[in-house]
Structure 1
Amino acid sequence: MSKTIFQTSVYELGDQVDAFYDEGMFVLFGENVPDTLKDFCHFIDVNQVDGTIGKGNTLVIDGAEFKITAVGEIAQSNLETLGHLTVVFSGAAEAGLPGSICVEAKPMPKLKVGSKIAIKED
């Protein structure tokens, strides 16, 4: 039985959130986002992670599931302290950025205000 270890929702979108859409990635951030990134972020509530984000966990976006294939070394601490996480839909076995996670290379959903995001431990 899977356990939800993190969940949040999107409450605001930066003006240019679609800039990374064609690259298959999106950026989440809590309220303390640096000005340089503000336009590119999906804003979320900062919540604790009840467990460890790891390969094989599942990212759930509005009900669609994506297997996590790689986790950067500071991805979890950034998510817990800043609400910051870069999600890359590449299926890569190694996270290219220390604050990112990679998920299966499936079409990326478009996040909107009210989108629900969760991470499940299997």
Structure 2
Amino acid sequence: MRYAYDVYEDRCPTRLVLDRLADKWALLILDRLEGGPVRFNHLRRDIKLISQKVLSQTLKKLERDGLVTRTVTPTVPVTVEYALTPLGRTLAETAAALTHWAEHNMDAILASQAAYDAARTAQ
């Protein structure tokens, strides 16, 4: 099947989307939002070491791409929640599979890295 876009072409706009999705923060945010709407500060607490600035920037990019919605509720203080859009939901399962693949295979990766490093040192 042929598509209108070709990810292997250097000027294809899909490259920008792939750049966004290759970002660890974007993957973690998409995975975290899979369970339903989440407040900004809750995301910040759940995703360790993400700064407020990076979280805000990443959410804005995901919102611009149509993957996340931002809902502001006029409470005191203002409540801001983020949720996946229907398009974002089509990606969330893939993001979850990738992030949790890393968790499940970390021991094998660490063993491979140690074996590789040991072989390089022995040379």
Structure having the higher Rg = 2
Same fold (TM over 0.5): no
**Structure with greater proportional strand content:** 1
- Structure with bigger RCO (C-alpha 8 Å, 6+ apart): 1
**Structure with greater proportional helix content:** 2
TM-score calculated relative to the size of structure 1: 0.27
